[in-house]
Amino acid sequence: MNLNVGWKEFDLSMLFTGAAGGHIYLTTDGLGYFKGDDSHPASVWLDAWTPENTEATMPRIAYDENSPSIAYTTDFWLQNTSYVRMKNLQLGYTFPKNWLEKLRVQNLRVYYSAENLFTLDNMLINADPETTVERVSNYPLSRTHSFGINVTF
Protein backbone atom coordinates (compact mmCIF):
# COMPACT_ATOMS: atom_id res chain seq x y z
CA MET A 1 0.00 0.00 0.00
CA ASN A 2 1.38 3.38 -0.98
CA LEU A 3 0.09 6.55 0.69
CA ASN A 4 0.94 10.06 -0.51
CA VAL A 5 -0.34 13.28 1.04
CA GLY A 6 0.58 16.93 0.68
CA TRP A 7 -0.32 20.08 2.57
CA LYS A 8 0.98 23.49 1.58
CA GLU A 9 4.74 22.97 1.09
CA PHE A 10 4.91 19.66 2.98
CA ASP A 11 4.67 16.20 1.44
CA LEU A 12 4.55 12.77 3.06
CA SER A 13 4.76 9.36 1.43
CA MET A 14 4.62 5.95 3.08
CA LEU A 15 5.02 2.49 1.58
CA PHE A 16 3.75 -0.56 3.45
CA THR A 17 4.35 -4.16 2.42
CA GLY A 18 3.00 -7.35 3.92
CA ALA A 19 1.84 -10.89 3.47
CA ALA A 20 -0.80 -13.11 5.02
CA GLY A 21 -1.14 -16.85 5.44
CA GLY A 22 2.54 -17.81 5.38
CA HIS A 23 4.09 -20.29 7.80
CA ILE A 24 7.56 -21.57 8.64
CA TYR A 25 8.60 -24.46 10.85
CA LEU A 26 11.27 -23.25 13.29
CA THR A 27 14.00 -25.65 14.35
CA THR A 28 16.36 -25.59 17.32
CA ASP A 29 18.86 -23.85 15.06
CA GLY A 30 16.54 -20.83 15.02
CA LEU A 31 15.24 -20.99 18.58
CA GLY A 32 18.48 -22.08 20.18
CA TYR A 33 19.26 -25.17 22.19
CA PHE A 34 20.84 -26.08 25.50
CA LYS A 35 23.58 -28.55 24.74
CA GLY A 36 27.34 -28.26 24.88
CA ASP A 37 29.55 -25.22 24.73
CA ASP A 38 28.13 -23.89 21.46
CA SER A 39 24.54 -23.44 22.68
CA HIS A 40 22.87 -20.19 21.74
CA PRO A 41 19.35 -20.07 23.19
CA ALA A 42 17.09 -17.22 22.15
CA SER A 43 15.79 -14.88 24.87
CA VAL A 44 12.26 -16.27 24.36
CA TRP A 45 13.40 -19.25 26.48
CA LEU A 46 13.42 -16.99 29.55
CA ASP A 47 9.67 -17.71 29.75
CA ALA A 48 9.98 -21.51 29.62
CA TRP A 49 7.70 -23.86 31.51
CA THR A 50 8.73 -24.85 35.01
CA PRO A 51 6.64 -26.24 37.87
CA GLU A 52 6.58 -22.66 39.25
CA ASN A 53 5.80 -21.07 35.84
CA THR A 54 2.96 -23.15 34.43
CA GLU A 55 1.56 -20.24 32.32
CA ALA A 56 4.78 -19.96 30.27
CA THR A 57 4.83 -19.22 26.54
CA MET A 58 7.55 -21.81 25.85
CA PRO A 59 7.73 -25.53 26.71
CA ARG A 60 10.13 -26.78 29.34
CA ILE A 61 13.80 -26.42 28.52
CA ALA A 62 15.26 -29.50 26.88
CA TYR A 63 18.89 -30.35 27.54
CA ASP A 64 18.83 -33.26 25.13
CA GLU A 65 17.53 -33.59 21.59
CA ASN A 66 15.61 -36.71 22.67
CA SER A 67 13.51 -34.65 25.08
CA PRO A 68 9.78 -34.66 24.28
CA SER A 69 9.74 -30.86 23.99
CA ILE A 70 12.18 -31.01 21.04
CA ALA A 71 12.02 -34.50 19.56
CA TYR A 72 8.33 -34.50 18.61
CA THR A 73 7.04 -32.46 15.73
CA THR A 74 4.12 -30.29 16.83
CA ASP A 75 2.36 -27.27 15.41
CA PHE A 76 3.77 -25.20 18.30
CA TRP A 77 6.96 -24.75 16.22
CA LEU A 78 4.98 -23.83 13.10
CA GLN A 79 5.11 -20.04 13.07
CA ASN A 80 2.64 -17.77 11.30
CA THR A 81 4.72 -15.39 9.19
CA SER A 82 1.94 -12.92 8.36
CA TYR A 83 3.28 -9.39 8.69
CA VAL A 84 2.96 -5.72 7.83
CA ARG A 85 6.13 -3.68 7.35
CA MET A 86 6.64 0.05 6.88
CA LYS A 87 9.10 -0.24 4.03
CA ASN A 88 9.60 3.47 3.38
CA LEU A 89 8.69 6.82 4.91
CA GLN A 90 9.59 10.17 3.39
CA LEU A 91 8.74 13.62 4.71
CA GLY A 92 9.70 16.64 2.63
CA TYR A 93 9.39 20.41 2.51
CA THR A 94 9.56 22.44 -0.72
CA PHE A 95 10.52 26.07 -0.20
CA PRO A 96 8.22 28.68 -1.76
CA LYS A 97 9.41 29.99 -5.14
CA ASN A 98 9.41 33.65 -3.99
CA TRP A 99 11.99 32.75 -1.29
CA LEU A 100 14.31 31.26 -3.90
CA GLU A 101 14.35 34.06 -6.52
CA LYS A 102 17.20 35.95 -4.82
CA LEU A 103 19.30 32.78 -4.77
CA ARG A 104 18.61 32.10 -8.49
CA VAL A 105 17.27 28.69 -7.59
CA GLN A 106 14.19 27.29 -9.35
CA ASN A 107 13.33 24.62 -6.78
CA LEU A 108 14.62 23.62 -3.32
CA ARG A 109 13.30 20.65 -1.36
CA VAL A 110 14.68 19.13 1.85
CA TYR A 111 13.57 15.74 3.07
CA TYR A 112 13.96 12.97 5.63
CA SER A 113 13.68 9.36 4.50
CA ALA A 114 13.60 6.11 6.46
CA GLU A 115 13.65 2.49 5.30
CA ASN A 116 12.35 -0.54 7.24
CA LEU A 117 11.14 1.46 10.26
CA PHE A 118 9.06 -1.33 11.80
CA THR A 119 7.48 -4.73 11.23
CA LEU A 120 4.33 -6.02 12.90
CA ASP A 121 4.21 -9.82 13.24
CA ASN A 122 3.49 -12.61 15.73
CA MET A 123 6.77 -14.52 15.49
CA LEU A 124 8.08 -16.15 18.67
CA ILE A 125 11.53 -14.71 18.13
CA ASN A 126 12.91 -11.54 16.58
CA ALA A 127 13.30 -12.82 13.03
CA ASP A 128 12.41 -11.53 9.60
CA PRO A 129 8.99 -13.03 8.73
CA GLU A 130 10.01 -13.03 5.06
CA THR A 131 12.74 -15.60 5.71
CA THR A 132 12.45 -18.94 3.98
CA VAL A 133 15.15 -20.62 6.08
CA GLU A 134 14.01 -22.56 9.17
CA ARG A 135 17.20 -21.59 10.96
CA VAL A 136 16.16 -17.92 10.49
CA SER A 137 19.86 -17.28 9.99
CA ASN A 138 19.70 -14.78 7.15
CA TYR A 139 20.96 -11.23 7.68
CA PRO A 140 18.54 -8.88 9.46
CA LEU A 141 16.99 -6.00 7.56
CA SER A 142 18.88 -2.75 7.89
CA ARG A 143 17.01 0.26 9.20
CA THR A 144 18.22 3.32 7.31
CA HIS A 145 17.69 7.02 8.06
CA SER A 146 18.77 9.72 5.62
CA PHE A 147 18.39 13.41 4.96
CA GLY A 148 18.61 15.01 1.54
CA ILE A 149 18.36 18.19 -0.48
CA ASN A 150 17.05 18.49 -4.05
CA VAL A 151 18.12 21.72 -5.79
CA THR A 152 17.20 22.83 -9.31
CA PHE A 153 19.05 25.83 -10.80
The mean pLDDT of 5-26, rounded to a whole number, is 94
pTM, whole model, 2 decimals?
0.75
Q: Determine the pLDDT at residue 145.
A: 97
Nearest alpha carbon to residue 13 among 75, 66, 65, 91:
91
**Whether residue 14 is found in the same domain as residue 33:** no
Same domain (yes/no): 13, 37: no
Please indicate, yes or no, whether residues 85 and 74 belong to a single structural domain of this protein. Answer: no
User: Residue 59 above 90 pLDDT?
Assistant: no
Q: Say what the pLDDT of residue 43 is.
A: 81
Q: Give the chain's domain count.
A: 2
- Do 85 and 152 have their domain in common? yes
DSSP sequence for 56-100: -SB----SSTTSHHHHS--GGGEEE--EEEEEEEEEEEE--HHHH
For residues 9 and 37, state if they share a domain.
no
Domain that holds residue 131: 1-22+81-153
